[in-house]
Amino acid sequence: MGKRRPLLRAGLELANAANGVRPFGRDGYPTIPAFFLGWPTSEMAPLYMVGSMLGALWRWVRGDYATRGGRIALLLKVITWGLLYLIHRRNVESQPYFEEPLREALGDRYEEVAAQSQPMRRRRLTHVVPNDFILRRYVEKTNVVRYGPHPRANFADIWRRHDLPRDGKAPVLLQVPGGAWSIGMRRPQAYPLLSHLAERGWVCVSIDYRVSPRHTWPDHIVDVKRALAWIKEHIAEYGGDPDFVAITGGSAGGHLAALAALTPDDPQYQPGFEDADTSIVAAVPIYGRYDWFTTKGPGRWEFVFILLQRFVVKKRFTKHLQIYRDASPITRVRPDAPPFFVLHGVNDSLIPVPEAREFVAALRDVSKDTVAYAEIPHAQHAFDFFGSPRGHYTAQAVEKFLSWVHAQRDQR
């Protein structure tokens, strides 16, 4: 574009910022570019603003804004900076939307109760893990383990403080990555959350699993169940407590985490290890899919008939409807469900927020345990990925919820 097209460049920057304020795509295939362009903008607006300002300064010196078109381009730049500031301000000011749902579900004293949990009492440990998302060095290389029989997929990272006692019986969190059931990479997803919990004395396990189209449903959930079985059998060797294992995940990982929590010890998803204990004590699905069978609504047709039918399940929806229903956490809600903390962004392009609302309503109708729900205004899909304010708020809120559950169990 260069000097000859400052107006076009400025227009594209403005469109990108506007998409970050409110995604252009809300239905069908446009949701995909709307997400991939708006996601980093909505979480890293200051970086975009600094880059845009430096670029504008360079072009000013170069004389790009001397013409009438150049002055219009500069005006568009200023509008863009205003939108980026709005995005960042919304991000910074979103903390109450993470905290208030916990106060409503757990009580006004939930932070005091959470502070009584075992991890919180370990703050005096000497090794400090920064709350950042670039933390691969804090995963001990000797703690990259293989949890199942599939050599290319069944690997896990164990996050633990180097000074955590091997006999410490620390609470454990299993992190299931997202990626439309076709990526599933354990790195670098959920780094703000994993580092935050590890610093407080938790043991966290982040897994890879078999993905589509190379593999077919239910291989994905079977691997999650295998990981849970491995944790119950081996996590004590790393200082973890096999009697306190929680689960979380985002997007496809949120679906798998919710389904695993609602199908403990289900032989349908535990072929060859039917007797293994795969129960969990709490679940935190984040911007997950909870319905695999409804075909009406924004993006539902494409999701069911293109993604699931062609690439994941690989069986005709109309002839094998029960497979799709069984894979839907919303059909598996049960009175003895563990405590749930569900989080979702209002601006989610890929998984519209009504899906989370419907799942939470169905779960609350039957579950006898706690169901907390945080709906985050202006948040796009994958809002917890980067080390942004929302990423840190997510980590803090999830840690408080899980610590509350841990403290409650300690008091029994």
Those residues whose C-beta lies under 8 Å from the C-beta of residue 104, and which sit 6 or more positions away, are: 372
Cβ atoms of 410 and 118 within 8 Å: the answer is yes
Rounded distance, CA 344 to CA 361, Å? 14
Cβ atoms of 257 and 249 within 8 Å: the answer is yes
Rounded distance, CA 305 to CA 317, Å? 7
Report the interhelical angle of 6-21 vs 45-62 (nearest 10°). 170
Rounded distance, CA 412 to CA 409, Å? 5
Handedness of CA 41, 47, 50, 56 (dihedral sign): negative
The token pair at 374 is: 């945080």
Active site residues: 251, 348, 381
Rounded distance, CA 399 to CA 40, Å? 24
Torsion from C-alpha of 97, 101, 102, 104, nearest 10 degrees: 140
3-state DSSP call for residue 354?
helix
Strands 144-146 and 155-159: antiparallel
